[in-house]
Structure 1
Amino acid sequence: MNEQQLQDHLRKKPYLVDAIAGNSSMLVSLGRSGRLYRLWWPHIDYPQHVDEIRTGLRLGTTPGGVTWFDDPDAGWQHAANYVPHTNAYRVVSTHPEYPVTVEQTDFAVPGQPLMARGYRLTNTGQEALRAELFHYGSFHVMDNSLYMTTEFVGDQDAMLHFRHRYAFAIGSSEVCSGYQAGQGSWHGASNGYLNGNRIDMKSDGALKWNLSSLEPGQSVLIPLYIAAGHSRNDALDALRQAKGREYGQWYADMESYWAKYLANAAPCPSEDGAIAALYERSLLGMKLMADEATGTIVAAPEFDEHFSRCGGYAYSWGRDAAFVTTAFNKAGLGELSEKFYEWAITAQEPDGSWQQRHYNDGSLAPHWGLQIDEGASLLWGMWEFYLHSGEKETFLERVWPAVEKGAAFLVRFLDPATGLPLPSMDLWEEREGVHVYSSSAVYGGLTAAASFARRKGQSDLAEQWDLAASRIGSSLEERCWNESKGSYYRGLNLKVSREAYDEARRQGESGFVQQLDKGYEKHVLDFDPIVDISLLGISVPFNVVPVESPRMTRMADTIERLLTSPIVGGIKRYENDTYIGGNPWILTTLWLSHYRTLQGRYEDARKLLDFAVKHVTSSGLLPEQVDRDTGNTAWVVPLTWSHAMFLLAVHLLAERGQLQ
C-alpha cells in the first residue's frame, strides 16, 4: 500500500475511533458523527466486513442532492456519547441551516446477529418538512474487495451483500422508497437519485426512505438493521426476524441485558463520580472485548489492518489477558475469566508452549516469534482465577494437563548456566534478549504451576518447579541489578544490529558475536540498561522481590523520575521510547499506581489513578496512549489492558480503605 492508498483508506477508516458497540459476537467501531467504520462478525477479531457505510438526508430545500451526516464539510454538528449503563452509542446531529435534528442510536442486539441503527428525525422548523433518508453501504466481506455480490431482494425489501460464507442484509421495518445495487451507487446516492438496479457483482448499494411531510415539532423513527448470516437465507431470515418486532422491543432487550450484566458485577467501590463512571464504562467495554463463542479476550478492536504503523491489535495475547482476567476476578466477573482459560487450553502448542498471539479460533496469528512471558502469564492467571473461584475443583481438573505441559516447557526453556529463560522477544515485541520482565513472568508461572501441583498431590513436580523459580529469583538479584542507575537491568544478552553493536563496543560496553547457521552472525550486548516500567513486574504482579525491598523502592523512584512525561504527566514505557512519538501510556501510569498502593504511598497512587480518569476519550473510554504535548488521545481506542489496569488500581486502593 503506497502513501496515497493509505490516506484514501484512512478517510474511510481512521486509526482513532470514538466508540465501539456490539454483543460479544458482532462488534462495530463508530465515529462521533455516527459513521460506522468497521464491523466484525461472527467473532470480534476476524473477519471484518465493512468498506464504507454512510447515512444522510435529502431535504426538500437542499440543493445538490444528499447531505451526509459524517461529511466534515457539510456543516453537521454532533453531540455523542453512550446511552447510560449500556453499550449503545447515541449521536445527535444538528445543522445551522436545516430545520431538523437527527438522533441516531447504534446497538447490537444481544444474542442475535443483528446491528440496530435507530434514526429519529425531528422537525425543528416552523413549516412542514419533506425529506428522504439515504443509506449507502459498501461491504468488503472478509476484508476483501473482490468477488462481492450486491442484490436488492424485493420480497424482503432488503439490500443483500454477500461473498462466500458471509451475507449481510440491510433493511427497515419501514418500506424503502428506492434502491440501487452496484452500477455507481455512490454517485446515485450522493445526487439523491437511485436507479433501481437490482443486482451487480459490486460491493456497494444504496437505499432510501421517504419521510413524507413532517409537521413542525413532529418526529419520525426509521429503524435500520444490519443482519448477518452464513448464507443469503440466514441473513434474510435474521432481517425478517428483526422487522417482525418493534424497534423499541429490541432496544428494551438491549437495555435489560446490560442492566443484568452490571448488576452481576461488583459495584464500584468509590463514590467519586468520575471514577464510578469510568469503572462502569470499563466493565461494559471489556465485555465487548471477550468473544461470546470462544471466551477469547482481544487486546483492542482492529484499527490498523494494513500494519501501516504497528503490527495490529485484534488478537489475543496471553500477557494482556492475564491482567484482564485478574481485573474480571476483582470486578465479580470471574465467569469471563474461566471461559477465557478454557479457550486458552485449546491454543496451547503440543510442546506445552503458548505462542505470542492468537485468533479467536485458537489458530496462530501473525507474530514475531516466541515471547516466553505469554505462556508464563497464562499459568499465573489460571492460578489467580483458581484462588478467586474458591479453589474450584472442576477448574483444576480441566486445566491441570495444560499446566503440567506448560510448566515443563518453561523448565526446558531455562538456561542451565544461569537459571534464567533463554532469549525470546520482550513484552513490547521489539527486541530479543533475556528480559527481566519475562524472567519474572516465568517465575510467576512456575510458582503458580507448583501451587497447582500441590493441590494435585504432585509434590515432586511442585518441588521441581519451585526450585526452578527460586533459581530465577536468585539469578535476577545476582546478575541484573544496575547500581549506577538505581534500577534492575531491563535484560541481558540483548540482540542488536551490527552498527549498534560496534558503536556500543566503542563506548566500552561488553558483548559478543554469536555464530549462527549458514554463516550468519548475531550481535549481542551483555546488558540492556534502559529503565522500563515493566521492571515493576518483578514485584507487581509476580512477586519475585518484595514490594518493600530497598532495590524495588529505589527503582520505582528511578522509574518515576526518568519516565514521567514532562508536559502532560503520566508514565512512558521506557527511556527514549519512539513508538507513536514516545507518549505516556495509561496502563504504564496505572502500573506505577499499583506499586505505590502496595508500597503504602496512597496519595501518589491516587494521583496516578487520576491521570487515567482525566484522559478518557469523549465517550469515556481509555486509550493506550496520551499525546505527550497536548494530552489528547494518541493511539488505540479502547485498549482492554488499560481498562483492566484501571479496575485493578481502583480495587487495590479500595481494599486498603484509600478510595472514597
Structure 2
Amino acid sequence: MPKDIPVSNGNLLFNFDSDYRIRDVYFPLIGQENHSKGHPFRFGVWVDGRFSWIGSEWKRDLRYHDDSLVTDVFLKSDVLCLELRCSDAVDLDLNVYIKKVEVTNLEGKDRQVRLFFTHDFHLYGNDIGDTAYFDPRTRSIIHYKANRYFLINCSGAEKGGVEHYACGIKGMEGQQGTWKDAEDGELSGHPVAWGSADSTIGIRLHVPPGGRATAFYWVAAGTGYHEVAQLNQAVLEKTPTELINQTSDYWTAWAQKEPRYFGDLPKTVTDIFNRSLLVLRTQIDNRGAIIAANDSDIVRFGQDTYSYMWGRDGAFVAAALAKAGYLNVCRKFFDFSAQVLSEEGYLFQHYNPDGSLASNWHSWLVDGEEVLPIQEDSTALVLWALWIHYQCSRDVEFIRPLYKKLIQKSADFLLAHRDSETLLPIPSFDLWEERYGVHSFTVAAVIAGLRAAANFARLFQDTSLAETYDTAAGQMKQGLTEHLYHTGLKRYARSGYRKGNGYELDEVIDVSLLGLITLGVFSPQDPRMIETMKAIRQQLWLNTPVGGCARYQDDVYQRPGDSPENIPGNPWFISTLWLGECFIARAENLQELHEALPYLEWCAKNALPSGVLAEQVHPANGCPLSVSPLTWSHSAYVWAVLQYTEKFNSLQKRG
C-alpha cells in the first residue's frame, strides 16, 4: 500500500498509507528505527452508536496544502453523515507530530462524535519490552523503551489532556489490542501495559446541527521522559494551531524561494515540481543521509527495506536539488559520503542513516574469484553530483576539505580500478544490482566522475592530476566504442563480459544505456546513440493504455501476476524520465522539444493525488508498485523539468 503523504522535519518522519493510517514512525534518524515496524495506527469515529475505522468505507482524498508539507486530507462517510478535514504536520524545530481534525455534522441534530487514535508501537523495531502507561503528570499516554519515548496527547471539547484511554497487550494469546476496545465507543481506562503493548485514546466532541467542531492530537518524540514532557508543554503553550501555521508558512517560503519560469510546460507538470522538492526533503536525514525510500511495505518482499543511503540515489537527489537552488540541503550528504568512503576510495552498496554499513547482497566471490561487492557507479556519481553542486554554488571553501578525502581518493580508485588492456573499468555490479560485469552505464558514470575530478583538480591548480583524470576518461570513452558497441545491432550493449581480447556482449536492451547521453559521454546527435535511443523507445515502451517505459526486456522485479502479456516489464518513472531527458537534450527547436512533453505528462498523470511518485506503476491499471515515494523518481522529475526549461529558454533566445 503506497505511502501517500509523508511528513517530516529531518529527525522525525511519519508515513501514512492510502487509508490514512500512520504506518511508519522513524526517529531520531530518517530511515533508521521504524518504531511502528509498518503496523497501522488506526483512526476511528463513533457517533450515534455506530463505529467506523477510517478506510475503504470512507471517501478519502489525501493531498497536501499547496507548496507545503502540511497535509490537506478530506474524509467523508455517508453512513455516519460526517465530513472530516484533517491537517498533519511535523514541527520544524520540535520533534512533534501534530494532527488537526475538523468534524462537520451533516445531520440536522446535535451529535456527540468520538474520535479514536490507536498506537501499535514496536519501539526500536520490535515489540519486546515496551511499556505503555497513562501519565497523570502530563495527562498523556507514554510509550517508552530504553532511550525512546513517545508521548501522546490531545485537546478537544473537554479540557486539554487525555481523558479517555486504554493501555493493553496485542498479538499475544489472541489479544487483538486496544483498538478492539474502542469499537463500542468506550475505553477501559486501563492505565498500564508492558511487553507487547499498545494504546488507544479517545476525544469527545459536541457538534451542532450542520456545524463543526475541532480536535487536536499530537505525538512528541524524545530520548527520555523530561524531553517529551517539555515538548508537550511547548505544544500547549504555543498551541497546536500556531505550530501547524508556522510549519506551513515555512514550507511555503522554502518551496517558493527560487523564482521559477517553466516555459510552456502545462500546469499539470509544474504542479508536481514543487511537490517533488518537498517530498525529497522528507526523506533526507538532518545528518546527511539521503534515503532511497522509507516505505516499510517493501519488507515483505525479502525482509529488507529501501531505508538506506545509496551513493547512486543520493547523488541524483543532490544534483537535482543543487540545480533547483537547494544547495544547503545536500552539503551534509557529501560530508556523509566522505565519512563512509572506504580506505581504498569506494562506496559499498549502501549505508544506514547513521553511517554504518547496511545489508549487502553483493557477493565477495564471483566464479570463485574474490571481487569487490560494489556498484562502481555509486562512487563515480557522487563526484559527478559534487561538481554540479560546485557549479551552482561556487563555494570553494566548502569543496576544499573534500578535495583530498573524497574527490581525489575516489578518483584515484576509479583510475586504478581499470582493465590494464582495454582501460575500461574492471567488472562490478550494475546499477540495478543484479549483474556482475562491465556495464555501459557504469562506464558512463566513471567517465563523468573522472571528468568532475579533473575539473576540481584544475580548480586547485593540480594540473598534472587533472590531465591524468581527463586522459583516463578519454580512454574509457574510446573503450566504450571499441568494446561495448554492438555492430550487428547497430547500438550499444548494456554490458560486456571479458573474453579473450575483448568482451562478450549482452544484447538485452536496457534503458540505462541512455546514461551515455544523460551523463554527457556522447552527444544525443551521435548516430550510434540515435539508434540506441530508437531501440529503447521501440522495445521498452509499453503498448498498453498505461504506457510508460520499462527498465529492460523481461524485467520481472515486482511484476504483478495479472500483467498483460508481451510487455518488457513494469513502467518506471526514472525510465520514462530518462527517455524524456534524451528528447530534451537532442532538441534543436521548440517543435522537437515538445516531443519530450508526453514523458513528463505521463509522470504527472501517474502520480498519486498528493503528487507522490512511486518507483513503478502497474502495467495494466497504473496503481503504484514497490516503494512510494521513491526519492530517485522525484529527483529525476525535478532534473528533467529543469532541463526542459533550460532548453526552452535557450531555444527562445536563439529564435
Fold conserved between structures, TM > 0.5: yes
Partner of 2:527: 550
Q: Deviation of residue 60 (structure 1)?
A: 3.1
- 2 CA distance for matches of 1:484 and 1:331? 41
Structure 1 residue matching 2:269: 3-state secondary structure: helix
8 Å contact kept, 1:150–1:204 = yes
- 1:120-139 matches, within 5 Å, as 120-139=102-121
User: Are 2:342 and 1:364 aligned?
Assistant: no
Deviations 1:359-415 (A, max 9, x none): 222211112221111101111111111111125343234344311111111122111
Alignment match of 2:586 (pick from 599, 610, 615): 599
Partner of 1:479: 483
Alignment match of 2:506 (pick from 522, 528, 532): 528
- 1 CA distance for matches of 2:391 and 2:309? 23
Q: Deviation of residue 539 (structure 1)?
A: 2.3
Alignment match of 2:52 (pick from 67, 72, 93): 67
Q: Deviation of residue 473 (structure 1)?
A: 1.1
User: Are 2:347 and 1:354 aligned?
Assistant: yes
Aligned length: 611
- 2 CA distance for matches of 1:307 and 1:634? 13
- 1:3-22 matches, within 5 Å, as 14=1, 16-22=2-8
8 Å contact kept, 1:264–1:333 = no
8 Å contact kept, 2:316–2:632 = yes
Q: Percent identity?
A: 28
Q: Deviation of residue 266 (structure 1)?
A: 4.4
Partner of 1:285: 279
Partner of 2:226: 233
Deviations 1:60-93 (A, max 9, x none): 332xxx42223x3xx3222332122211223222
The one-letter amino acid of 1:537's match is G
- 1:184-195 matches, within 5 Å, as 184-195=177-188
- 2 CA distance for matches of 1:394 and 1:620? 33
The one-letter amino acid of 1:591's match is W
State which drifts further: 162-171 or 593-602: 593-602
- 2 CA distance for matches of 1:402 and 1:61? 64
Alignment match of 2:138 (pick from 156, 159, 164): 156
- 1:131-530 matches, within 5 Å, as 131-173=113-155, 174-183=160-169, 184-201=177-194, 202-211=196-205, 213-270=206-263, 272-292=266-286, 294-304=287-297, 306=299, 308=301, 311-367=304-360, 368=362, 369-390=373-394, 392-493=396-497, 526-530=504-508
8 Å contact kept, 2:140–2:161 = no
Partner of 2:173: none
Structure 2 residue matching 1:274: 3-state secondary structure: helix
Alignment match of 2:17 (pick from 31, 36, 50): 31
Change (3 A) 1:611 1:26: same
8 Å contact kept, 1:376–1:410 = yes
- 2 CA distance for matches of 1:423 and 1:348? 19
Q: Deviation of residue 578 (structure 1)?
A: 1.2
Q: Deviation of residue 210 (structure 1)?
A: 2.5
8 Å contact kept, 1:267–1:331 = no
Q: Deviation of residue 249 (structure 1)?
A: 0.4
Task: For structure 2, list consecutive stretches of 5 or more residues without a partner in the other structure.
Answer: 170-176, 363-372, 560-568
The one-letter amino acid of 2:518's match is V
- 2 CA distance for matches of 1:406 and 1:346? 12
Structure 2 residue matching 1:414: 3-state secondary structure: coil
8 Å contact kept, 1:327–1:644 = yes
- 2 CA distance for matches of 1:617 and 1:320? 21
8 Å contact kept, 1:45–1:302 = no
Partner of 1:572: 550
The one-letter amino acid of 1:650's match is V
8 Å contact kept, 1:268–1:280 = no
Q: Deviation of residue 109 (structure 1)?
A: 0.9
State which drifts further: 457-466 or 377-386: 457-466
The one-letter amino acid of 2:509's match is V
- 1 CA distance for matches of 2:617 and 2:261? 25
- 2 CA distance for matches of 1:57 and 1:148? 27
8 Å contact kept, 2:573–2:616 = yes
Q: Deviation of residue 46 (structure 1)?
A: 0.7
Q: Deviation of residue 267 (structure 1)?
A: 2.1
Structure 2 residue matching 1:200: 3-state secondary structure: strand
- 2 CA distance for matches of 1:391 and 1:177? 55
Change (3 A) 1:18 1:177: same
- 1 CA distance for matches of 2:488 and 2:443? 22
Change (3 A) 1:289 1:59: same
Task: For structure 1, list consecutive stretches of 5 or more residues without a partner in the other structure.
Answer: 1-13, 495-509, 513-523
| RMSD of aligned residue pairs (Cα, Å) | 2.2
**Given the two structures, how large is their TM-score scaled by the length of structure 1?**
0.88
8 Å contact kept, 1:90–1:105 = yes
State which drifts further: 280-289 or 50-59: 50-59
**Given the two structures, how large is their TM-score scaled by the length of structure 2?**
0.89
Partner of 2:628: 637
Q: Deviation of residue 161 (structure 1)?
A: 0.6
8 Å contact kept, 1:150–1:161 = yes
Deviations 1:299-340 (A, max 9, x none): 122334535158521111111222222211221112223232
The one-letter amino acid of 2:570's match is N
Q: Deviation of residue 116 (structure 1)?
A: 0.4
Q: Deviation of residue 347 (structure 1)?
A: 1.6
